Structure 1
Amino acid sequence: MGPDEPRAAHPTDFPGGAAPSLAGPPPSPEAILRGLDPEQLEAARSVRGPVCILAGAGTGKTRAITHRIAYAVATGVVPEQQILAVTFTTRAAGEMRGRLRALGAPRVQARTFHAAALRQLSYFWPQAIGGPKPTLVDSKLGLVSEAGRACGLQLDRTGLRDLAGEIEWSKVTQTRPADYEATVTKANRTPPMPARDVARAYDAYEELRRERNLLDFESMLELTAAMITDSPQIAEQVRSQYRYFVVDEFQDVNPLQKLLLDAWLGDRDDICVVGDPNQTIYSFAGATPGYLTGFSAAYPHATFVRLVRDYRSTPQVVKVANTALRAAGSAGTAREHHLELVAQRPDGPEPAYTEYDDEPAEATSVARKIAALIESGTPARQIAVLFRVNSQSAAYEQALGDAGVSFTLRGATQFFDRPEIKKALHTLRGAAQGDDAAPLVATVRHILQQPQIGLTETAPEGRQAREKWESLAALAQLAEDVATERAGATLADFVTELQARAATEHAPGLEGVTLASLHAAKGLEWDAVFLVGLTEGMLPIIYAEEPEQVEEERRLFYVGVTRAREHLSMSWSLARSPGGRKSRKPSRFLDGLRPASPSLAAQRGERRKQARTAQCRVCGTTLLEAAERKLGRCLDCPSNYDEALLESLREWRRGVSTEQKVPAYVVFTDATLQAIAEHVPSSTTQLARISGVGAVKLERYGQAVLALCAGEAPERTGADEGETA
């Protein structure tokens, strides 16, 4: 049934097991409020509901609501055990619990709708329903396939997923099979197949599910709400247990979730909702911002707080986000709740807008730009490539692989389900049973470096081997983070942290560029974001025909833009394949954003002009390849260089990469080291002229490299000792 399922019905399972308590006394109310901005402070002090917090992207909404909860507990407004904070992902729930522990409120229940419902349904099942408990199905696809065959439908995998999605939409909007055809017509919704066929398959699916005593996630919410509504005794017990509610991402609530929330609340109004209508991107799945934008109508006496100070992104990124939304054609309620972000960070680089001939050229160029960012000091895990549909990922997987850049696919195998992580956790748990007072970081690294687990000092070659190494390296890095945050943390403390993260799917960050769809990127952020494939028909997607559908696509673009902290790059290609017809148009969402730019022909002419300025220092031939331009000569032209110096540079790089726990190429690529060995720079000015030595790397490694070039031993710097910028 999943990680949140209780092992057996037990009184402690209903309110939830207590989280680990803090070692020291909880912070005072004044300390909890310290450091909040005026709007966050207003939210935190509004401890009695109803409260509506409209929070723009990057404005610190999680900070505001966790400090509000902790302040309510610290001032005696409500006991911890009577608070239920609801969010939409286990990752977000885990993050919220972690913050609440740090704020002295470890027993607050922070859960997803589904996790909270499952615990309650499991606990009350014997008295409310009785008989054998149903089995919760993680995926509908098998049952949907069987139902489709029973109705004579021939479905491929795509059709099967579309039908399963349509059944989910029907259930969250409380649409019964008999009402489906009329409902989709009224909603102006285009079903993936004839509405009559969907209704037949939906009816067959529900019949099979009931016959086999199966429960899907939607039925679980519906049954929990019905159980509370139909039984006064259960309703009284639930409402006496939870009387203080916080709901995050309220713009994403669907009618079925609202039904359950109303059952929890009863006739009370001690509720705080948090959301941003500008980030409503799940309407296709039944979510509606109406509950958020209509909160004042439901609760005329509600307190409203608006968070607009953006702490995430530079003014340049914020300007793109604000401009994109100002162009929206919607009016009325959504316009009334529009949030104009106000940047709080210093200036950063201007966003980049780039047009390409075809998709492979776009992917190759993006990969090169990413490699350059990594060389200049941006960690790979702080870079993301975001696209509209998952099928766009393949070109970037190939291009990044060709460029020697590691990457991770968001939505691939869950971190804690990976075999190497399961083995590592098992070994760490066993080691934690002993009375070991050894330093946490050294102990964890020693365990992970055992042959049966396999963490090595440097990343191995090969994609699968590298992915395993990156997973284990992420565990080692997490141990360092825990040791930094909690002085004196033990291996047992670390294992407890890992178990909590595994239960909430809160994986540590992996050292690789993230590839993700725009929908999957919501709630995340990176230093550098590449929005790719921004063409009409892709964003907005071709089937977004109605004005509101187009505006939802615009909000999806807004979500993508606001994931970037500093570097934002937007690109599109005119054709799918090299030599193809260049008929694509840039996305309309770029109108008014991108500056007037030279034509592609002019851009290519400028690149050729720049290329002519780079000539081989041996034979004088024009250098076109990046590796040749970096070396300053043709690859096959002879060159004299000190082999001992090159080996010294490589040995130094190995030491730095080991200390910093990053792949060697993140320090300097082989081509850059060879260029240094050939030029033998004697000053920072000369070293800075070598391609691949940017300002960040010059400051971080410059003195060490120059010392090696002078035949001296480099001094250990902060960077060499593992510090990162």
Structure 2
Amino acid sequence: MIDTSAPHAEHGTLEDRLLGGLDDEQREVATTLQGPVCVLAGAGTGKTRAITHRIAYGVHSGVYSPQSVLAVTFTARAAAEMRSRLRDLGVGGVQARTFHAAALRQLQYFWPQAVGGTLPALLEHKAQAIAESARRLRLTVDRAAIRDLASEIEWAKVSMLTPSTYLEGASGRGEPGGLQPPVVARLFEAYEDVKVDRNLIDFEDVLLITVGILQEDAKVAATVREQYRHFVVDEYQDVSPLQQRLLELWLGGREELCVVGDASQTIYSFTGATSAHLLEFGKHHPGASIIRLVRDYRSSPQVVRLANQLLGSRRSGGPAADARWAQPLTLLAQRPDGPEPEFAECSDDESEAAAVARRIAALIAAGTQAKDIAVLFRTNGQSEAFEQALSAAGIGYQLRGGERFFNRREVRDGLLQLRGAARAEADDGVPVGQRVRDVLSSLGYSEQAPTGSGATRERWESLAALVALADELSAARGEGFGLTEFVAELQERATSQHAPAVQGITLASLHAAKGLEWDAVFLVGLSEGLVPISFADTPVTIDEERRLLYVGITRAREFLHLSWSLSRTPGGRAHRRPSRFLDGLRPGGATSSHTGGAARKRRELKGPTTCRVCGTILSTGAERKVGRCSTCPPSYEESTFEALRAWRLEQAKASDVPAFVVFTDATLTAIAEAKPVSLAELSQVAGVGRAKLERYGEAVLELLRDS
């Protein structure tokens, strides 16, 4: 690990100070200063370290001017983190922004000369505009539908679709908000009209208009290209077609581009993101340097092994899905051994949450800090049970995606007090951390945390996070970093919502956990229907769900706990099954139980998951029963199938029940194709349970022998 204070050291060569702590592959990234460069960086391999040291080495060696470098990433938090690291490396003049922030800055500057007049106001939330659009069309939509329609419009715009081209481009996307595609197209058009009437633009318009100006105004394009000569794009697997087009216009045909990404962490396809640009970088940039970072410095060998196994156990999903599945990087663990991942099966959601809370309490008692523990789930609706269990156990938590850190009253008050103290600051040699402690003590900060949980504890944790940040930045920045500089850093972080770590368990969705890491991670609710989610019904979407679980696993540094429950409510029917992704990952397929007794015996998930003919993942119950997809031809003899149908009809009439009650068509097809010769073989056919085996088994076998 590199000492980020090293660039400020007075001794040592430039190479020693900027490259000495990098591994061979990271050093190759940092010293390959001329593009095009593609860095394939696995989870925890130090990609941010590599690219920030590349920028710093390029600036300090005179190859780059800091003002000519634009580093682009996807979240304000990631951009703020990059700026902080670059300042630590002595290159604070480099611009690190999100695509939207960089485009908005250019649009604000060039709008008067390229378009004229005042830039329209920015529409930060689409809900009201979409609701008004629906009213204009006399459509009834609820809040959930409005959210879905907002997401669909965002997807359409970053996919560079217009209301007139939406129908063609949105083929196969279902019915967002319960509306048929032609109606969505009309709503999309009405939404654009509402914005024009109100003189508003949305975030996607920022990119679209900037692209339009750069395409049509050669003078503006030349000015931008003269300003920025070197580009770095982080999380390149997440670029949308619109963002890629903007990047191409910034470059203007030049090759001074370094992209960094990992196709195995592509989890935002539903927003229009695509890993195709990363995977095809060498094709579009012949002669590009391709560098792979595979040494994992984040996670223990046990966690890394599980992550590799998860991706390696993926089966073919058919030609179309296979073409979109990138060969994953095999991570090589660099940390010492840790505990084996834990797997736990619970009777219901309440039992699972209580068991997780008890395990967390044990970790905290053993010395793990609460801020270094996370509970991750597939949907935000799963959080309530864990919030209640943690509260009952007296364990503080923060819900990621809840109230923003810098919006909390105690944080706002703290910033106000620190700003006033900075104006009156005297150079008395008192460390920044101590000055911050002194100022915040009037708001309730103390060295010892208050006992228990509740509002008092939450207030203290917010103030303690500011103190910890002051200590951290003071150590990294060294001499010259005073209270004034700390307040400036806080103001910038407040703008980008780059919050410091707060004491308390983190509760977050798997999507919200991207880019973060903890010492201990609890992956919960890992049952079919949640992971993968029920609406992931194609091989491509199933693959994305696998990648999402991979992201969750690789958030853990040392301790990893995976759990699921058999029923939703206490005493409910145990109809749930563990996620198919856990098949082959659990040691011996065994599970542990938190139900108070021996491990519950359960029938393992069985039956083929891929078509035995073409290898496509089977997405419906009927297909799984038969063992092949609906588009592949059947392999049974027609006479056998018809004999089974005739026998079923006789049985149904004799029992006065519908024919499907005896056996469904899918089960008859599976029997005809399998042609079992014993009761044991017949029992393996999906849809033939114990009762039906006892009632119809001998008759079916006799019929098959005679046919």
The verdict on a shared fold, with TM-score over 0.5 as the criterion, is yes
Q: Which residue of 2 aligns with 1:12?
A: none
Alignment of 1:73-472 (within 5 A): 73-185=59-171, 187-189=172-174, 191-193=176-178, 194-329=180-315, 337-436=327-426, 437=428, 438-450=430-442, 453-456=443-446, 457-459=448-450, 463-472=454-463
Contact 2:591 2:599 in 1 (8 A): no
| Stretch deviating more after TM superposition (330-339 or 81-90) | 330-339
- Alignment-mate amino acid for residue 281 of structure 1: I
Q: Which residue of 2 aligns with 1:531?
A: 523
Contact 2:145 2:176 in 1 (8 A): no
Residue 582 of structure 2 is aligned to residue 590 of structure 1: yes
Residue 550 of structure 2 is aligned to residue 558 of structure 1: yes
Moved over 6 A (4+): 22-27, 599-603
| Stretch deviating more after TM superposition (438-447 or 332-341) | 332-341
Deviations 1:605-662 (CA, angstroms, capped at 9, x unpaired): 3599xxxxxxxxxxxxxxxxxxxxxxxxxxxxxxxxxxxxxxxxxxxxxxxxxxxxxx
Shift of 1:73: 1.3
Deviations 1:499-558 (CA, angstroms, capped at 9, x unpaired): 232232211100000000000000000000000000111011001011000000000000
Equivalent-residue separation in structure 1 for 2:591 and 2:530 (angstroms): 22
Shift of 1:461: 5.0
Q: Which of residues 538, 545, 559 is equivalent to 1:567?
A: 559
Equivalent-residue separation in structure 2 for 1:295 and 1:486 (angstroms): 37
Q: Which of residues 457, 467, 475 is equivalent to 1:476?
A: 467
SS state of the match for residue 69, structure 1? helix
Shift of 1:384: 0.3
Change (3 A) 1:201 1:475: same
Contact 2:513 2:552 in 1 (8 A): yes
Contact 2:583 2:589 in 1 (8 A): no
- Alignment-mate amino acid for residue 415 of structure 1: F
Equivalent-residue separation in structure 1 for 2:55 and 2:87 (angstroms): 11
Equivalent-residue separation in structure 1 for 2:523 and 2:387 (angstroms): 15
Shift of 1:157: 1.5
Change (3 A) 1:182 1:333: closer
Contact 1:387 1:518 in 2 (8 A): yes
Contact 2:523 2:562 in 1 (8 A): yes
Residue 536 of structure 2 is aligned to residue 544 of structure 1: yes
Contact 1:184 1:191 in 2 (8 A): no
| Stretch deviating more after TM superposition (189-198 or 300-309) | 189-198
Equivalent-residue separation in structure 2 for 1:123 and 1:516 (angstroms): 38
Shift of 1:602: 11
Contact 2:238 2:268 in 1 (8 A): yes
- Alignment-mate amino acid for residue 93 of structure 2: R
SS state of the match for residue 520, structure 2? strand
- Alignment-mate amino acid for residue 440 of structure 2: L
Residue 498 of structure 2 is aligned to residue 506 of structure 1: yes
Equivalent-residue separation in structure 1 for 2:510 and 2:528 (angstroms): 16
Deviations 1:466-514 (CA, angstroms, capped at 9, x unpaired): 2222111111222222333344432212212212322322111000000
Change (3 A) 1:435 1:571: closer
- Alignment-mate amino acid for residue 405 of structure 2: F
Contact 2:164 2:185 in 1 (8 A): yes
Equivalent-residue separation in structure 1 for 2:10 and 2:113 (angstroms): 40
Contact 1:85 1:247 in 2 (8 A): yes
Change (3 A) 1:114 1:448: same
- Alignment-mate amino acid for residue 115 of structure 1: A
Contact 1:574 1:582 in 2 (8 A): yes
Contact 1:293 1:333 in 2 (8 A): no
Structure 1 gap segments, 5+ residues each: 1-21, 609-725
Equivalent-residue separation in structure 1 for 2:389 and 2:139 (angstroms): 39
Equivalent-residue separation in structure 2 for 1:82 and 1:181 (angstroms): 41
Q: Which residue of 2 aligns with 1:693?
A: none
Deviations 1:388-438 (CA, angstroms, capped at 9, x unpaired): 000000000000000000000111121112221111111111111124223
Q: Which residue of 1 aligns with 2:18?
A: 32
Shift of 1:35: 1.3
SS state of the match for residue 68, structure 1? helix
SS state of the match for residue 36, structure 1? coil
Shift of 1:49: 0.6
Contact 1:277 1:334 in 2 (8 A): no
Number of aligned residues: 584
SS state of the match for residue 581, structure 1? coil
Give percent identity, aligned residues only.
54
Contact 1:383 1:513 in 2 (8 A): yes
Q: Which residue of 2 aligns with 1:577?
A: 569
Equivalent-residue separation in structure 1 for 2:476 and 2:593 (angstroms): 53
SS state of the match for residue 176, structure 2? coil
Equivalent-residue separation in structure 1 for 2:593 and 2:207 (angstroms): 57
Contact 2:526 2:562 in 1 (8 A): yes
Q: Which residue of 2 aligns with 1:41?
A: 27
Contact 1:359 1:573 in 2 (8 A): yes
Shift of 1:177: 1.2
Superposition RMSD on alpha carbons, in Å?
A: 2.0
| Stretch deviating more after TM superposition (453-462 or 165-174) | 453-462
Shift of 1:191: 3.2
Residue 486 of structure 2 is aligned to residue 494 of structure 1: yes
Contact 2:121 2:200 in 1 (8 A): yes
SS state of the match for residue 575, structure 2? coil
Change (3 A) 1:484 1:25: closer
TM-score under structure 1 normalisation?
0.78
SS state of the match for residue 313, structure 1? coil
Shift of 1:596: 3.0
Deviations 1:92-122 (CA, angstroms, capped at 9, x unpaired): 1111111111222111100000110111000
Equivalent-residue separation in structure 1 for 2:477 and 2:204 (angstroms): 40
Equivalent-residue separation in structure 2 for 1:350 and 1:23 (angstroms): 40
Contact 2:9 2:17 in 1 (8 A): no
Shift of 1:160: 1.1
Q: Which of residues 68, 81, 84 is equivalent to 2:54?
A: 68
Contact 2:347 2:566 in 1 (8 A): yes
Equivalent-residue separation in structure 1 for 2:535 and 2:392 (angstroms): 34
- Alignment-mate amino acid for residue 532 of structure 1: V
SS state of the match for residue 164, structure 2? helix
- Alignment-mate amino acid for residue 331 of structure 2: L
Equivalent-residue separation in structure 1 for 2:81 and 2:122 (angstroms): 25
Equivalent-residue separation in structure 2 for 1:532 and 1:602 (angstroms): 14
Contact 1:277 1:289 in 2 (8 A): yes
Equivalent-residue separation in structure 2 for 1:605 and 1:553 (angstroms): 32
SS state of the match for residue 218, structure 1? helix
Equivalent-residue separation in structure 2 for 1:37 and 1:23 (angstroms): 21
